[in-house]
Amino acid sequence: MFGVEQVVSNDRVTVKVTGDIDLATADKVGEALIDALALGREVWVDLSAVTFLDSTGIRALVQAHRKADTQGTRLYVFGAQQWVAKVLEVTGVGPLLAPPEEG
């Protein structure tokens, strides 16, 4: 089952996506990310519960990343598993949106 949840804490907004990000849901993900960016904080996208990611989902993530850059904020992706992690890696989007190294 698909879902998008937004959690605001301090200077960070976490957007947790559940299910498939594909042609049917990518626009909803993109809208949620743009809404989160409108709060003017860092946006962290939790993909740990995403089971499938196609090119429309990649596009939504990249567009949100570009929007974050133009407004001087950051968008990071974390938690991708198996197939989703592989798609992010192969397309180069994973390294582009990787959070900064801790410590």
- The reply to whether 101 falls in a domain is no
Q: What is the pLDDT of residue 41?
A: 85
State the average pLDDT over residues 56-76: 97
- The reply to whether 102 falls in a domain is no
State the average pLDDT over residues 67-92: 96
Q: What is the pLDDT of residue 40?
A: 75
Q: What is the pLDDT of residue 67?
A: 97
- The reply to whether 66 falls in a domain is yes
Global confidence as pTM: 0.94
> Where would I find the H helices in the chain?
26-37, 55-71, 82-91, 93-97
- The reply to whether 103 falls in a domain is no
- The reply to whether 8 falls in a domain is yes
Amino acid code (one letter) for 86:
K
The per-residue pLDDT of the chain, averaged, comes to 95
Please count the structural domains in the chain. 1
Residue 103 has pLDDT above 60, yes or no: no
Give whole-number Cα distances, 8 to 62, 70, 78, in Å. Answer: 21, 21, 16
Task: For residue 71, give its domain range.
Answer: 3-96
Query: What's the rounded Cα separation, in Å, for the pair 80 and 93?
Result: 12
Residue 77's CATH number: 3.30.750.24
CA 72 to mean position of chain CA atoms: 17
Per-residue pLDDT reduced to its tens digit, 3-51: 999 999 988 999 999 999 999 999 999 999 999 999 978 999 999 999 9
- The reply to whether 26 falls in a domain is yes
